Each structure stands twice: as C-alpha cells, then as structure tokens.
Structure 1
C-alpha cells in the first residue's frame, strides 16, 4: 500500500536504544527483550535491521558511554548504523537512501523515546510515503512528569492508540505487539 513504487520490502528500525536514553526508561528490560525478539525474527527472515543512533551536546556526545547502544542489543557488522542529530531518523541522515537501496516501502519501528524520536520518525516515515508499523510493546520513554508530561505508561498507551489508525493517501500506520509482528507485505502487523 506504500506510495513508494517498486519497494515491496520491510525493514526493522531500532531507534536510540542507547545507555543514556533508556537508563531510566519505563519497562526498560521488557522493551529491550521485545526488541531482541524482533531482531532475531527479522534476521531469521532476512529482513533488514537498521540501527539509528542519536548524538547531541547535551549528554549524548558521540563516542561517550551514554551514546553507546545498550549491551543487551548486538548489531551485526553488516547491519547499517544511521547517525542522527534530530528527532526524525530521516532528517539529515542516509536512512532514506539505505531503505531505497533495499527496496523498503514499509518500516517497523521500535526504540526510544516514545514522545520524541519515535513519534518524529513515525510521522517522518508516513509523510515520506512509507507504511509504518509501531510495535506497541517495543518502545519506551523516561518519566517526564516533573515537566508536566503524562506518566510514561500514558505516553506509550496514547502513542499506541493514535498510531493504530493513522493513514494518509496510499499509505497507513498501525500498532501491533511483538508477538503479532509480521514482516510480510500481506499483513499490516
């Protein structure tokens, strides 16, 4: 259903599951476990796994311990690593070129933080013509209630709810749990 012609493939995006991003994240270990399950499934089905890694000057300096991916997730050398400095994983990165080169018209999104880089990437992908599936139990965020935000559970639940029926002409979003993810084009999940 993607609006990107001749791009029938799906890719798994693993966004910003870095030490400094998920150190205090809601259900950190459960989310990382679900992402590991999805990585294993994608690899077994020869689906591209693309890693995205954020850097900035406010605690995620490139090369620092906080910037590193969590040790529980292991990237294979052949799997692309996209470096970004903005919330949207497509913005000023080579992500679009990597996906185009692999014939990808649908992305399955996992990672952190729900209310920042995950939401930005979901919308960035949809407006660029991709079908976009959010894995509802494979993204997380930190507690920002001190700044007036809802609890992490509410942020995650609301994001899952509003993304479950996203659509635009010729493309769609959707939310599924890890157990229901399909990397085939025949299924939306």
Structure 2
C-alpha cells in the first residue's frame, strides 16, 4: 500500500540497541533475542537490515556506552545510519538508503519505545511508508520516577495504538516476531487473508 512509487521492498530497522540505551531496559534479553531472530530471517530472505545508532549529550560517539550491544552483530555492507534526533529519518541518510534499495515498507524494532521508536514509526508513516512494529522486539527503561507508566504498559500501549494507525495509502500494524513477514505489504496482507 505504500505511497512511495516503485518501492515494493521491505527493510528491517534496528534502532538504538546500544549498550547504554538498553542497559536497564525492560525484558532486555528477550527483546534482543527476538531482534536477533529477525535479523537472521531478514538476511536469509535477502531483506535489507538497516542499523540506526544514536549519539548526543550523554551518549558520545565512539565510546563503549554508544556501541551496539555485543549480542547483535552488523555485517559489512549493512547500512549504519547515525542520528542525533529521535526520528531516525530526521537529519540522516536513512531515506536515501531505503530509496536506493526500493524500500516502501519498514519493520521496526529497537529502543526506546516511548522515544526513538515512536518517533521513527510516525516519521516513516508521514514520509509515505507502510510501517510494521514488532510488538515483542522493542523496549524501554523504567521512567516511572518521571511520571511515565511502567515499561510494560508503555510497550503495550504503543503496540495497541500502532495496530490501528493508518493514513491515505499507507498503514501501520503491530505483529509479534514469530509472525513477521518481509513480503511487500500487499503480498503480506493477501497471504494473511488466505
């Protein structure tokens, strides 16, 4: 359904699964294991895996806290997008990387649910992409001390509202890692209906 012409492909986005970002994340090990499974599936199906890495105040580039967690390994040739805003598209080359690969649908994983993941979900949709959120492959830390709901509720709420998100010519959906399809949105929808 994407509104982007001649872009039938799907890409997997892995957002900010960095040492400091997920050090105290909710269900860290389970989420990283699910992301790893999706990365391997994408590679097997020749689907682009795009890694997004945040830097900024408190997360300085080329430091250990800034590095991706050791459980996830980016292969040479897989795009790495550096960002300094929540939305992975904002002031980055993500759009160009996706365009050159004919991508009109993104499958989103990573951290933090209530910051960079949500920003990227919305950023992708307003730019014309179909956007799949993997409900058990994103996480956040406990920010209840600042008035936020507990992490499990933040994740559940994001999963709930994203499955009903749509805009003219594009749609959002939430699926579990085991049910992710990397087929173009029109094919994925047709196979689910049959």
TM surpasses 0.5 = yes
Unaligned runs of 5+ in 2: none
How far did residue 165 of structure 1 move? 1.2
Q: Aligned partners of 2:8 and 2:167: how far apart in 1?
A: 18
- The equivalent residue for 2:94 is 95
Describe the SS at the equivalent of 1:133: strand
How far did residue 152 of structure 1 move? 0.1
- The equivalent residue for 1:133 is 132
Deviations 1:45-86 (A, max 9, x none): 00000000000022x100111100000000001100000000
- The equivalent residue for 1:26 is 26
Deviations 1:80-104 (A, max 9, x none): 0000000000000000000000000
- The equivalent residue for 1:106 is 105
Describe the SS at the equivalent of 1:53: strand
Q: Aligned partners of 1:91 and 1:38: how far apart in 2?
A: 25
- The equivalent residue for 2:76 is 77
- The equivalent residue for 2:61 is 62
- The equivalent residue for 1:6 is 6
Q: 1:127-166, aligned counterparts within 5 Å?
A: 127-166=126-165
- The equivalent residue for 1:124 is 123
Deviations 1:92-139 (A, max 9, x none): 000000000000000000000000000000000000000000000000
Q: Aligned partners of 1:124 and 1:73: how far apart in 2?
A: 25
- The equivalent residue for 2:45 is 45
Q: Aligned partners of 1:66 and 1:155: how far apart in 2?
A: 24
Q: Aligned partners of 1:144 and 1:39: how far apart in 2?
A: 28
Q: Aligned partners of 1:125 and 1:57: how far apart in 2?
A: 25
Describe the SS at the equivalent of 2:37: helix
Instruction: Give the RMSD, CA atoms, in angstroms.
Output: 0.7
Please identify runs of 4+ aligned residues in structure 1 that moved more than 2 A: none
How far did residue 28 of structure 1 move? 0.1
Q: Aligned partners of 1:57 and 1:147: how far apart in 2?
A: 19
Unaligned runs of 5+ in 1: none
| TM-score, normalised relative to structure 2 | 0.96
Describe the SS at the equivalent of 1:187: helix
